[in-house]
Amino acid sequence: MTKHRREFLAALGATATVGLAGCTGGSALGDSNEMPGVAGETLTLTTTTSTYDTGLLDELNAPFEEMYGVTVDSVAQGTGAALETARNGDSDVVMVHARSLEDEFMREGYGVNRRDIMFNDFVVVGPEDDPVGIGGVGSATEAFSTIADQGATFVSRGDNSGTHTKELAIWGAAGVEPSGDWYRETGQGMGEVLNVANESGGYTLSDRGTYLSQRSEISLVIHVQGPIEGGPELLANPYGILAVNPAAHDNVNYDLAMAYIGYITSPEGQRRIEEYTANGEQLFYPEALSEDPDFQQYVPEGWSGNSTDG
Amino acid sequence: MTPAALESLPLLVAFPFESVYVRSIIAVSLYVSLLAVLASTVVSVPVALVVGFTDFPGRRFATSVINTGMGFPSVVVGLAVLFLVSNQGPLGGLGLVFTKEAMIASQFVLATPAITGISLAAVTSVDRSVRDAAYSLGGTRLDVALVTVKEARYGIATAVLAGFGRAISEVGSVLIVGGNIAGADGVSKTRTLTTAIQLEARQGRYETAMVLGAVLIVIVLLVNAVVVRLGDGGRFR
C-alpha cells in the first residue's frame, strides 16, 4: 500500500514537474515544440582531463545543449575521481577511459548502459635525444624495462586516472615494480605531467590526444607508437560512456544522461568526434557505429550470462 | 619558461578582456568571494564583540578556536563541505554540489575565522574609556557596540580585507566543491580566476595563466584601495 502511494506521489510529482517545465520551456522556446520537458535542465558530466583539455568536449556539448535547451556541466577529473564522484551520485553521466575501473563500477551496480564511444592510443614520449635509447625497441614493455634498468627519469600521473591505470598495467606486463628516485609521481593531470617531463628531461606515458594538442608547447617526441601508428595493442586507449544507475541514486538525471549517450553515439556525435582536430591532427577515432557491434560493451568484460554457461 | 613569459608581457595589452570567458570568470570570482565575505562579516563582527567584551565560560576556548580557524587548510575545508553537500551527505537533498552556493559556503568557512580573529584584536584594543563614556552617557549595549565598532573601523576593515584576500586567492576548496565548470560556450559557472589559472597551467598555456594572474592581483589591489578609502573618510566617519 505504501509503495503504491509512493508511486502515485512520484507520478504526480513527475506530471507536475513536466507540466511546469513545459510552461517555462515553452515560453523560452517560443512556439517550438521540441522536447519542452527537458529544457532548462542540467546534466552533470564527470570526465577525464584528456577529453576536456583537448577541447573535444566543448565541441560535442555545444550542439547538444542547443538541441535540447539544456546545460552540460563538465567536471574534469581523472578517471578514478570521475567514477568516485558518480558513485556518490554527484554526476549523471561519466565519460572515461579505463575499462577495468568501468567494469568495477558497473559490477557494483552504479553504472548502466555503457557504450563504447571512441578510441585513440597511448604513446611513450621522452626527450628528443632519447638518452637511454628506447626508440628502437618498438614494444612498450621493453621500453619501460629499459627506463627502469637505466634509471631514466619517468614522470607518472600517480592519480588513479585512466592513463595511470594503463601505465601500471604496462609496468606489470614488464615485470617491474617502479620505485626509486627516477620514478616521479606527480598526482596531476596529463598536461601538467607532460610539462614536468618536458622540464625534467624525463619520459612519460601520454594519451596521443593530449600530447598532440600540447606538442607545440613542449619538446618531447614520441619514442614508442600506439596502435594507431602500428604500435602494440597494449597501448590502445578506448573511451566509454556510462549513465549513473537511477536505481542506485534516484536524484540523477537519467533521462538526460541517456539523451546525451544517445547523442554522443549517434552518427552526428560520431562525425564530430572524427572531424575534431588539434594542430591539424585527428585526436579521437569514433567507435560507436560498427558493422560488427560488440555486445560486450554493455556489460562488464568477461561477464557470462546464466543461460549460456548454465 | 621565464624568458618566454617575459616575451609574452605584451599579451597583457592584447588580451581579450572583453571576452565572455574572462568576464564571466571574473564575475564568478567576485560574486563568490564578495558574498562569502559579506556573510562572514555579518557573523564575525558581533562574534568578535561578544567574545571581546563578555565573560562567559569557554571564552578562552572560543578564542583559540578562532585562532586555529585562521590557519585552517583550505583543501580540508573544501573536502568537508563536499562531504556535506554531496548527494550522499547530510545536505545532499539540496543539490548544492558543483554550484556557486557550495563555493560560497566553503569560502565563508575559510574567511570567518580570519575576519573574526582580526576584528577581535581590533575591538579589544579600543580604549576602555570610550566604552565607559558611552555607558555613562546612558547608551544601551547596542550603542556601546556601535561606538566600539566605529572606533575599531580600521582594524575591522583590515579584517574584512584579510578575509577577502583569503577567499579570492583560494584555489583548493573551490576546485573541490565547485568543479571548475565552464559551459561549452565559454561562460563560467563555477570557474574562478584561481581555478582557471590552474587549468591553463595544466594545459601548458602559461601566457594565459599569467594574464589571469595579473587580473587577480589587480582585483585584490582595487578592493584593498576601496576598503581603505571607506575606512579612511567615507561611510564610517
Confidence of residue A1 (pLDDT cuts 50, 70, 90): very low
pLDDT confidence of residue A28: 42
Residue A207 pLDDT exceeds 90: yes
Average pLDDT over residues B135-150: 88
pLDDT confidence of residue B231: 63
Residue A32 pLDDT exceeds 70: no
Rg (C-alpha) for chain B, rounded Å, is: 21
Mean pLDDT estimate for chain A: 86
Confidence of residue A23 (pLDDT cuts 50, 70, 90): very low
Nearest CA-CA partner of B226 in B160, B169, B167: B160
How far B180 CA lies from chain A's nearest CA (Å)?
A: 7
pLDDT confidence of residue A305: 61
Between CA A300 and CA B84 the distance in angstroms is 32
Is B204 an interface residue toward A (CB < 8 Å)?
yes
* Percent of chain A scoring above 70 in pLDDT: 86
Fold that domain A3-120+238-298 belongs to in CATH:
D-Maltodextrin-Binding Protein; domain 2 (3.40.190)
Most confident range (mean pLDDT) of A30-44, A255-269, B80-94 is A255-269
CA B130 to each of CA A173, B138, B141: distance values in angstroms, whole numbers, following the listed order? 77, 13, 13
Distance of CA B1 to the CA centre of its chain: 31
Residue B92 pLDDT exceeds 80: yes
| Helix, strand, coil share (%) of chain A residues, nearest 5 | 45, 20, 35
Between CA A282 and CA A208 the distance in angstroms is 10
Average pLDDT over residues B12-16: 60
β-bridge partners, A278: A281
Architecture in CATH for domain A121-235: 3-Layer(aba) Sandwich (3.40)
Is B224 an interface residue toward A (CB < 8 Å)?
no
Q: Does this chain's domain A3-120+238-298 share its CATH topology with A121-235?
A: yes
Interface of B with A in 75-94 (CB under 8 A): 86-88, 92-93
pLDDT tens per residue, range A84-139: 999 999 999 999 999 999 999 999 999 999 999 999 999 999 999 999 999 877 79
Confidence of residue B233 (pLDDT cuts 50, 70, 90): low
Between CA A40 and CA B227 the distance in angstroms is 39
Comparing alpha-carbon positions, the chain B residue that sits nearest to A249 is B87
Cell representation of residue A259: 539523451
| DSSP-assigned letter for residue B188 | B
Is A90 an interface residue toward B (CB < 8 Å)?
yes
Kind and range of the H or E element at A123?
strand A111-126
Partner-chain residue, chosen from A57, A74, A89, that has the shortest CB–CB distance to B87: A89
Q: Are A75 and A45 in contact (CB under 8 A)?
A: yes
Partner-chain residue, chosen from A60, A90, A218, that has the shortest CB–CB distance to B204: A218
pLDDT confidence of residue B13: 56
pLDDT tens per residue, range B207-227: 888 989 999 999 999 988 887
pLDDT tens per residue, range A130-166: 999 998 777 999 999 999 999 999 999 998 889 999 9
Q: Where are the domains of chain A?
A: 3-120+238-298, 121-235
| Helix, strand, coil share (%) of chain B residues, nearest 5 | 75, 0, 25
Q: Lowest mean pLDDT: which of A32-41, A91-100, B89-98, B162-171?
A: A32-41
Question: Which are the contacts of B103, defined by CB distance < 8 A and separation ≥ 6?
Answer: B32, B36, B173, B174, B177, B178, B190, B192
